[in-house]
Amino acid sequence: MWDSTEYGKLVGEKGHYYHQSVILSNAVRLLKVAPSHSLLDMGCGNGVFARHLPKGVEYVGVDNSNTLLEEAKRLTKHGRFVLADASGELTVEKKDFDKACFILSLQNIENGKGAIAAVRKHLKKKGALLLVLNHPCFRIPRQSGWGIDEAAKLQYRRVQRYMSPLSIPIEMHPGKKGGATTYSYHHPVSTYVQWLAEAGFAVATLEEWCSDKKSEGSKAKMEDRARQEIPLFLAILAEVL
């Protein structure tokens, strides 16, 4: 079973490293969030995105973990948090949000198609939805990993499976007997685009975000080059038709 308390510790008040260095500022930029906007945050966790938004934004966060929502309320000075299944009918009265997002949450929702359809009911016409994903092409738990070609002095990414939908158990504490387990639900990029289209969205833009970390030591050059060429995250911005 997934331990939401451990997840809260991992993210913390400001977010983990990539939240702070890559994801949150780029999400605000892509969504073009302004103080006058309203935003629906699906799978909001402990509300980390709310704490990076401009002041004045009307914010509603949705999550199925009461533990994380209680932490969100404690850490966040503004906004509203709702306990709900993201892929079902949302207990949110507002039907005309300007913006919505799944920030690293959609791949942890078994019924991703249903979650996108649920959001559509709460966005205004021309409203924008942002999906931020662990890159489905390169970061597939148990089906991808780093390798090194010693002869060519290159680090590469190995991908064993991609097109098949997968339900992948993830141990929160590998090696710890009886530790918490969560699930990652893998789909190819084409599936996400299809789900968006079926829900009444059109893809407006797509970005791929790389790591900004730097290595040290004898393999630094190949590792840094691999980081620059193989993105960690995929961002898809879609608009209601």
Rounded to the nearest 10 degrees, the angle between the axes of helix 112-120 and helix 189-199 is 30
- Predicted confidence (pLDDT) at residue 199 exceeds the cutoff of 70: yes
Report yes or no on 126 lying in a domain. Answer: yes
Report yes or no on 169 lying in a domain. Answer: no
- Predicted confidence (pLDDT) at residue 124 exceeds the cutoff of 50: yes
Which structural domain range is residue 60 located in? Answer: 4-140+187-216+231-240
Report yes or no on 194 lying in a domain. Answer: yes
If one counts every other C-beta atom within 10 angstroms of the C-beta of residue 127, the result is: 22
Report yes or no on 223 lying in a domain. Answer: no
Report yes or no on 146 lying in a domain. Answer: no
CATH code for the domain in which residue 35 is found: 3.40.50.150
Report yes or no on 211 lying in a domain. Answer: yes
Report yes or no on 104 lying in a domain. Answer: yes
pLDDT, tens only, 57-104: 999 999 999 999 999 999 999 999 999 998 888 989 999 999 999 999
- Predicted confidence (pLDDT) at residue 28 exceeds the cutoff of 80: yes
Q: How confident is the model at residue 115 (pLDDT cuts 50, 70, 90)?
A: very high
- Predicted confidence (pLDDT) at residue 177 exceeds the cutoff of 70: no
Percent pLDDT > 70 in the chain is 90
Domain count, the chain: 1
**Minimum mean pLDDT among 86-95, 123-132, 186-195, 221-230: which range?**
86-95
Report yes or no on 117 lying in a domain. Answer: yes
